Amino acid sequence: MKFLHTGDWHIGKPLRDRPRWDEYEAALWQLLEIAKTERIDCLLVAGDVYDSQVPPPEAERLVFELLREIWGSGIPAVIIAGNHDHSRRFTALSRILEMGRIHVRGDPLSAAKGGVIEMASRDGRESACIAVVPWVHERRVVELDTLLDSAQRGRPFQQYAERVAEMISHLTQAFQPSTVNVLVGHLMIDGAVVSPGGGERLLHQGQVYAVAPQRLPQSASYIALGHLHKPQSIAAAAETRYAGSLLQLDFGEQGQNKSVLVVEAHPGRPPQVEVVPITAGRRLRDVEGALADLPRLASQVGDDYLRVKVRVDHPLPNLAEQVRAFLPNTVAVEAKYRQPRPAEKSRELGRLTPEELIQRYYWEVHGGELPQPLLALFRQLHEEVQHAAP
């Protein structure tokens, strides 16, 4: 059987204040063309379809247009919720989408109640057993006890990762030597590489959330993971991969080549995995230089989104506007000041009034003048503090 593994779409996530609807649409349509060209037997979406639990209508339109095309093309799909998705919204849609063989799971379920999905190949010669583990929110991890069989209930409280590992073990008991056995999970695996400054939520990357790779099933033909945006393989007994995000979602992901995975798997044999690039979407890039360097930089960056660090000796008015005059695709500007010696800086700051100090701070952080409403509020608070002093 042939699968297309993807995830972490984060449809609706802007880049700072810039919407990216055309990029998301182009990436999804490229994914659709890959699915059709490769004649896949099933699409696997490993969570974080949306960036928000209450996605804007534009995001839902893009996703449902893709699902309509998948449905119309006769391609089954398995889609699970990630930590950015609203699990109950997914569950509410699951029954109607199943009419088109699009199997959606918002919350973890026992094997008997939908946690394991059986699916036949296009030609009917092989069948797959697909165990699904949507994201388990930390406040609901204790509920996993009620999903496991009676022999496992009532055990003392254990850490989050251990509970999730037990859920995986329960579901994968359904794997058989005669089937293509696939685990789809929105999980953090211990040892996986998290992009520094990337789009993943730091709250859900800690050790307490990390399932040990040794707890992943040896009996799996393939393990399709979502949650981390950097495409990567995990050292485990079975072939285990994070597909990564469809676009570079934040500047921590610059330099990453985005892709989907086409996986051909057969019972009892190692799978063949092909990395298929996703070329839709603009790349993100850090550039640095003095103001005089901007014309030269403009000829090198194409249509990339930019985070520009400008080397200056002192605050400059309208710095962001000056940068965007040469580099219109700039989404963030940082001023990098010549660093005086500590004693020199101390003397300089000591000569400034409190109002001048906060203005200086705002210049250094934001590269612009302190807005008048904030300045007026600072003056009011400073005056209140002075009057309150004994």
Q: Domain for residue 100, yes or no?
A: yes
At 336 the pLDDT is 85
For 87, the domain range is 2-277
CATH number for the domain that contains residue 301: 3.30.160
Q: Domain for residue 344, yes or no?
A: no
Q: Mean per-residue pLDDT for 85-103? A: 95
Q: Are residues 51 and 158 in the same domain?
A: yes
Can you list the positions of beta strands (E) in the chain? 2-6, 42-45, 77-80, 102-105, 116-120, 127-133, 180-186, 188-189, 210-211, 222-226, 232-234, 240-242, 259-264, 272-277, 284-289, 305-312, 330-337
Which positions ≥6 away from 33 have C-beta within 8 Å? none
Q: Are residues 228 and 295 in the same domain?
A: no
Q: Are residues 96 and 128 in the same domain?
A: yes
Q: Are residues 353 and 329 in the same domain?
A: no
pLDDT band at 194 (very low <50, low <70, confident <90, very high): confident
Indicate the Cα dihedral angle 84, 87, 91, 96, nearest 10°: -10
CATH number for the domain that contains residue 155: 3.60.21.10
Q: Are residues 315 and 222 in the same domain?
A: no
Q: Are residues 331 and 374 in the same domain?
A: no
Domain boundary among 311, 338, 365: 338
Q: Say if pTM beats, i.e. exceeds, 0.85.
A: no
User: Residue 366: pLDDT above 80?
Assistant: no
Q: Are residues 166 and 311 in the same domain?
A: no
Q: Domain for residue 343, yes or no?
A: no
Q: Are residues 325 and 194 in the same domain?
A: no
Q: Are residues 93 and 131 in the same domain?
A: yes
At 247 the pLDDT is 97
pLDDT band at 367 (very low <50, low <70, confident <90, very high): low
Q: Are residues 75 and 154 in the same domain?
A: yes
Domain count, the chain: 3
pLDDT band at 150 (very low <50, low <70, confident <90, very high): very low
Q: Are residues 273 and 286 in the same domain?
A: no
Q: Domain for residue 239, yes or no?
A: yes
At 141 the pLDDT is 67
Q: Are residues 303 and 171 in the same domain?
A: no
